[in-house]
Amino acid sequence: MATKDFDYKSFAQNLAQQAQEMVPQEFDDFQKQYVVNTLGNFAMLSGQTLAEDENLHFDAEQSVLITQIIAEWSFHKSVDVIRSGIPQQYWDPIMQKIAYTIFEIAKQTFSQGLPQDKILELIEHHVKKSYVEAITELKDKGAIDEGLMEFAASQSNMDKMAQDMQESAQAEAAPPQEGGELPMPVEPSGGAAVDFPKVDSKVLKLATVAMLFNKMKQDKVQTILNKFNPDDAETVIKFMQVPDLEKRVGTANALKCLQKIKTNLPKNTDLAPNKVVLRLRKFASTRSRKELDTLLITERIGVKRLVFNALEGNYYDKIPPKVASIVASHLCNSV
């Protein structure tokens, strides 16, 4: 039975529009558009299948949730793929493998009527597994080396966002409202944005942190909570136990809150990595990719990764800034 009352087109377009505000600012325009397009395309395709396939038996609420899960993981893993330094021509095959895995696991687990927390746990496990399998296949085919494979496998935008939110929550001075109440409006099923609720901003941030923590393994959650102010940690734990937290916060509100958290994060005062990135980008700006490959053919893999990460606006943090600065000077002065 198809889900005729699921407006998948509007929902997918809304998710893609919201994602534009969350793409890492260090990405260039092409990379940002890739993340948004990937999320939008996979949300549209999965939504269409759920809405029109007569062999599926999901209601509108289940269809919305499945599509949203695919969109969220498409966002996180496309960011991971870009940050990994894997060549662009391999991005789509990796993301297609992940999207297919999510859809199949979601269909199975929802059909079996498993609890939502178990569904999210299983999907997370299989997403990570399919991602590692995809980059391992690239290594086995000789498309990437083992060092790049390991670096790509270490990427986790979801964990990074959790860490960012933890730092922002700790930096907030105002205490949460007494009782931790969160009178959130329910978000429309079409995913349209609703106005920010009239509650203390820190309460909303902690509730959003709780939403993210509910999708993470509990050992990781506890490690992060141990660094929180005890009162904040207790509030987050209470929110994690609210059964309808995602509906009360709403996707649009959560995304707005995440953007606000990102804006308010403490700025990095160590400019050395940024300077290295700028110098290397200037060094490479007048050379083609083939010329760069020729210039770097005798360099170690770490140096190559430093250069190619810099081309994408990222700093390869496996090399200390002082060493990276020396490498940048060597490259700029050697040609």
> How many Cβ atoms sit within 10 Å of the Cβ of residue 53?
14
Report the distance separating Cα 250 and Cα 208, nearest Å. Answer: 10
Report the distance separating Cα 43 and Cα 66, nearest Å. Answer: 9
Residue 283 has what pLDDT?
Answer: 82
Residue 164 has what pLDDT?
Answer: 66
Q: If you count them, how many residues does the chain have?
A: 335
Whether 55 contacts 183, CB under 8 Å? no
Q: Is the pTM of this model over 0.75?
A: no
Report the distance separating Cα 96 and Cα 315, nearest Å. Answer: 27
Report the distance separating Cα 213 and Cα 277, nearest Å. Answer: 33
Q: Would you give the DSSP letter of residue 21?
A: T
pLDDT tens string for the chain (335 positions)?
Answer: 456 678 889 888 988 888 888 888 888 889 999 999 999 999 999 989 988 887 888 888 888 889 989 998 999 999 999 988 899 999 999 999 999 999 999 989 988 888 887 888 899 899 999 999 999 999 999 998 888 888 888 888 877 776 666 666 555 534 444 444 454 434 444 444 334 344 446 777 778 888 878 777 777 777 777 777 777 778 888 888 887 777 777 766 777 676 666 555 444 433 457 778 888 888 887 787 777 777 776 666 777 778 878 887 788 777 777 677 777 777 776 65
The predicted-structure confidence for 255-289, as pLDDT tens digits, reads as follows 767 666 655 544 443 345 777 888 888 888 778 77
